[in-house]
Amino acid sequence: MTYPRFSDTEFQRRNNLARDLMRREGLSALVIFGNSGINRHNEANVFWLTNYLDLHHNYLIFPLEGEATLLTGLVNHVPNARAVSVIVDTRWGSYDPAKEIVAKLKKDGVAKGRVGLVGINATFGMGMPYQHYKTLCDSLPEVEWIDVTRDYARLRVIKSEEEFDWLKIAAEFTDETVAALENEIRIGMTEYDLIGIIEASYRRKGGQPHIAFLRSMPMDAPTACVPAQNVTDRVIQKGDVIIMEISASYWGYSGQIHRPIAVGQDPTPEWRKLFEVGEQAYGRICEAMRPEANEGDVIKAASVIGESGYRIYDDLIHGYGVDIHPPLIDQSCCDYWIDSKPAPAGRTFAEDMAMVVQPNPITPDERMGLQVGALTRVTKNGALSLQNYPMKFVVAKG
């Protein structure tokens, strides 16, 4: 029995990056928290150094010198965690993991100085539970606790070749979800059935679920501009459109694809136009997204959306891999299209970033919208799709 695992060389690369960060910031250790949110993708920061994705919560104590310790949240997770993790000292964190963290730091001689805290997501200010943090502060009053969540996450932005190998597998799993829907959707099914088709397409091949957002509605009477995170028992009918965003994962690494599906007939002119604008914006963004290009360049490239009288609701682009991270452009970019003013440069792109490009146009009244996009890799020649499923408005015969 084996679990997917990166090479020792890859983990050494990551360890070196983490310890370089610690030296720059004068840190004696990192305390990294993760939980099972968003189908375990809130484990990204722990997972990157351990190979382990817990189904509850865990902590990694990673000293500048010495051996790391992985504390699982639940005791019955320990046997499997030890089989999966690259951390030799993998054990239960007890019902009071903060005390275990304190004991580990003291054992490593870290009772004062600076210790870095890595939470789940700096953008949303999501860190470790307050009770755990208070115990650390009360038990080690001479330690200065430094939040380095954002700095640590930057270490994961540029992907290695091994990581892209895993992303390609995840992209293939994700492609297969759309192919399965195209072939298996039948009039009379419910949205629940569609979720069953999606997950069945990759589960038997070792894929893991991440997200499957979708919404069905009549093309001639649209009611929403984005997919729903919670599906219903609505029955699929001829003339429906299904809008969706799907990510299947390979051991934490996820693909992502966005395609609309028309059921039992070709898309109507109104829907066809919406798709063509999204497709055009997608191509322009991919061409613009080169090393040293910036967010302002991408916003300008996507201006066809605003020029066509549409807006976006979701992000235009975002970094990806295990979780969502910068560079990220949200719906505020619409303001630059409306006023025809140049967008600020923002962050710069670099070769080997993994980026989701998703110019999902909607009507200003939010009556209708669709998803057009894919996971891509930034190269010298622009962003190249890792998703091989055709860029098309899918028609399911039903």
CATH code of the domain covering residue 119: 3.40.350.10
Mean pLDDT of 202-214: 96
Residues 150 and 172 in one domain: no
Residue 163 is given by DSSP the state H
182 and 121 share a domain? no
Domain boundary, last residue among 98, 125, 154? 154
The reported pLDDT for the residue numbered 172 is: 98
CATH of the domain at 288: 3.90.230.10
Regarding whether 207 and 226 lie in a shared domain, the answer is: yes
Six-digit token pair at 126? 């999501």
Rounded to an integer, what distance in angstroms lies between the CA atom of residue 204 and that of residue 21? Answer: 39
| pLDDT, tens only, 276-293 | 999 999 999 999 999 999
Residue 231 covered by a domain: yes
Mean pLDDT over 198-208 rounds to 96
pLDDT of residue 214: 97
- Determine the distance from the C-alpha atom of residue 230 to the mean position of all C-alpha atoms in its chain, rounded to a whole number: 18
Strands (E) across the chain are located at 29-35, 57-63, 69-72, 89-92, 113-118, 143-147, 208-218, 240-250, 253-254, 257-258, 261-263, 311-312, 317-319, 325-329, 354-357, 361-362, 373-379, 382-385, 394-396
Domain membership flag for residue 3? no
Return mean pLDDT, the chain. 97
**Mean per-residue pLDDT for 26-43?**
96
In this structure, the answer to whether residues 165 and 105 fall within a common structural domain is no
Q: How far apart (Å, rounded) are the C-alpha atoms in residues 211 and 18?
A: 29
Residues 180, 150, single domain; the answer is: no
311: amino acid identity, one letter:
R
Tell me, yes or no, whether 21 lies in a domain. Answer: yes
pLDDT of residue 2: 86
DSSP 308: T
332 and 363 assigned to the same domain: yes
- pLDDT greater than 70 at residue 116: yes
In a domain, 2, yes or no: no
When pLDDT is cut at 50, 70 and 90, the band that residue 60 belongs to is very high
DSSP 182-229: HHH--TT-BHHHHHHHHHHHHHTTT-EEEEEEEEEEETTS--BSS-BS
Given 154, 187, 203, which residue is the final one in a domain? 154
Please report whether residue 304 resides in a domain: yes
On the 0-12 / 13-18 / 19+ scale of CB atoms within 10 A, 232 is exposed
Q: What is the mean pLDDT of residues 192-196?
A: 98
pLDDT tier for residue 318 given thresholds of 50, 70 and 90: very high
Does residue 318 form part of some domain?
A: yes
Q: Say yes or no: 336 and 249 in one domain.
A: yes
| pLDDT score of 236 | 98
Q: Average pLDDT for residues 94-113, to the nearest whole number?
A: 97
Residues 131-140 have a mean pLDDT of 98
Do residue 195 and residue 94 come from a single domain? no
pLDDT for 398 equals 83
Which of 128, 97, 102 minimizes the C-alpha distance to 32? 128
Please identify which residue in the block is written with the tokens 């304190």: 102
Task: Give a yes or no: residue 1 inside a domain.
Answer: no
Q: Report the predicted TM-score, pTM, of the whole model to 2 decimal places.
A: 0.96
pLDDT given at position 382: 98
Q: Provide the pLDDT confidence category of residue 1 given band limits of 50, 70 and 90.
A: low
- Say how many residues make up the chain: 398
pLDDT-above-70 percentage for the chain = 100
Domain end (from 127, 154, 181) = 154
Task: Give me the mean pLDDT over the 168-194 stretch.
Answer: 98
Nearest to 184 by CA among 175, 174, 194: 194
- Same domain flag for 382 and 237: yes
pLDDT tens readout for residues 252-275: 999 999 999 999 999 999 999 999
Q: For residue 341, is pLDDT > 90?
A: no
Tell me the residue range of the domain where 340 lies: 161-396
Statement to judge: residues 176 and 264 lie in one domain: yes
Residue 338 confidence (pLDDT): 85
Residue 170 sits in the same domain as residue 139: no
Total domain count for the chain? Answer: 2
What is the percent of the chain where pLDDT is above 90?
Answer: 97
Do 100 and 42 reside in the same domain of the chain? yes
